[in-house]
Structure 1
Amino acid sequence: MRKLGIIGGMSWVSTATYYERINRLVQKRSPPMASAPLLIESLDFCQLYALREAHDWERAAGVLIDSAQRLEAAGAEGLIIGANSMHRLYDDVAVAVGIPILHIAEYVGLAMKRAGVSSAALLGTRNVMTESFYRKRLVAHGIDLLPPNLDYVAMLDRIIYEELMVGKVTREAERTLKTIITNKAQDGASAIVLACTELDLVVDVDANVLPIFDSTRIHCEAAANWILGQEAVN
């Protein structure tokens, strides 16, 4: 098996999910006592929280680059960034290391293309929903994305940053997400992309009015396949 590095802590809640899911997938396809060879650096999310200004993103890029280089020096043969929003810095980090980084949106796009999805709504943090760095990866796979609803953007930002990232799960958040997804179906979406690694805490991925493409599940599947040297199939 190949050794994978995880840049985590964004948030610790989703990093724990990554660790568990990757190991379960690896164990399922390996001898019963197998564990995934992982190197995890859990960053202090206070340095990377709700970035807005260009200089904030430049500082964050330095934090992620340093982390990636430490993981590479420690023996990681490949990397994942355990957060959708931090893939805004993917290109900066990728050129700073000599090992591959598995891009979360690339694997989501591949999964949707294989499923024959033509239109979808993207749900996540403000920068994921409104900026181009994530959307263009999905569009490149032939996915037509609905424009973001700014009211939903504000609702989701609050739920993600104030609740889910500190491990708080409420029925109100579950109802809000169910309403948003129902409305997106009425707006013409044929699928939903959960482009936040914590949103599956409040969305029933396997039973909803629309097919749900959970970026965390898909990324973990890609990571397990990479560790095992298998073709990534989502």
Structure 2
Amino acid sequence: MKTIGLIGGMSWESSAVYYQQLNEGVESRLGGLSSARTVLTSVDFAEVTALQQQERWDEVAQILATAAQGVERAGADFLLLCTTAFHRVAEQVEQAIDIPLLHLADVVADACQEHRLESVGLLGTSFTMSRSFFTDRIATHGLQVHVPADEHHETINRIIYDELVHGKVSDTSRREVVEIIEQLWDAGAGGVILGCTELELLVRQADVEIPVLGCTTLHVKAALDRALSDAPLEVAPN
């Protein structure tokens, strides 16, 4: 089994879901007392969020790159960023290490294609929905990506930051998000990407009629496939 490197803390609720699902997945696949080989480092969410809000991306990249180097030195064979929004600096992080980075957008795009989807909706933080770094990467796989109308961005952001990152799950907020998903469906989305780990705590497949693609669930599955495969890992050229 290969060792999975994780950069977490964005938020710690998100990191806990990654850690739990990775270990549940290994136990399910291998049985017995098997658990995942992981190296996890956790950054200060308040610090990197403040830098994000000030558009100080070089500093964010440096923090995450340093964290990634520590994970690599600790023995990780490949790396996951346990976040969507901070994939904004994924390329800088990847250039700082000599192990592969399993990019979330590529994993999600592969899953969309497996579902034979040509058009998908994306929910996430306001930052993820309003910037193109994530949607553009998905689009390189031949997919059309819809995001909610601007007036819904603050609603989703509030639910994520004021509720879900603190472990609060509200039926009222679930209904609000489901209504936004239905609007994306009306706009032509054949499925919806939950582009924030915390949203997977709120919305389940049973809540909506179109396919729900949870980024964390897909990222974990791809990581387990890689960790338990005998195939050698390929590192992208820096």
TM-score range, shorter chain: over 0.9
TM-score of the two chains, using structure 2 as the length reference: 0.92
Unaligned runs of 5+ in 1: none
Map Cα deviations across residues 165-209 of structure 1 (whole Å, 9 max, x no partner). Answer: 111111121111111111111222111110001101110134412
Aligned-partner residue type, residue 137 of structure 2: R
Deviation string for 1:118-147 (max 9, x for gaps)? 111110012211212100121112211125
Does the Cα contact within 8 Å between 1:123 and 1:196 map onto a contact in 2? yes
Q: Which amino acid aligns with 1:63?
A: I
Contact 1:88/1:134, CA 8 A, preserved across alignment: yes
Q: In the TM superposition, what are the counterparts of 1:1-234 in structure 2 within 5 Å? A: 1-49=1-49, 51-55=52-56, 57-229=57-229
AA aligned to 1:182 is E
Closer/same/farther in 2, CA of residues 230 and 222 from structure 1, 3 Å limit: farther
Pairwise CA RMSD? 1.4
- Measured in 2, the distance between the counterparts of 1:4 and 1:63 equals 19
Opposite residue 54 of structure 1, the aligned amino acid is E
2:235 matched residue in structure 1: none
Paired positions, count: 230
Partner AA of 2:117 in structure 1: V
The change in CA–CA distance for 1:217 and 1:147 in structure 2 (over 3 A counts) is: closer
In the alignment, the residues of structure 2 paired with residue 173 and residue 9 of structure 1 have an alpha-carbon distance, to the nearest angstrom, of 24
Q: Confirm or deny: 8 A CA contact 1:185 1:209 kept in the other structure.
A: no
Superposition deviation, residue 60 in structure 1: 1.2
- Give the conservation status (yes or no) of the 8 Å contact 1:163–1:169: yes
Return structure 1 stretches of 4+ with deviation > 4 angstroms.
none
170-179 vs 200-209, greater mean Cα deviation:
200-209
Q: Secondary structure at the match of 2:30?
A: coil
Determine helix, strand or coil for the equivalent of 1:39.
strand
**Contact 1:181–1:209 (CA under 8 A) maintained in structure 2:** no
C-alpha displacement of 1:73: 0.8
Query: What SS does the corresponding residue of 1:58 show, helix, strand or coil?
Result: helix
Q: TM-score, normalised by structure 1?
A: 0.94
Paired residues of 1:5 and 1:78 also in contact (CA < 8 A): yes
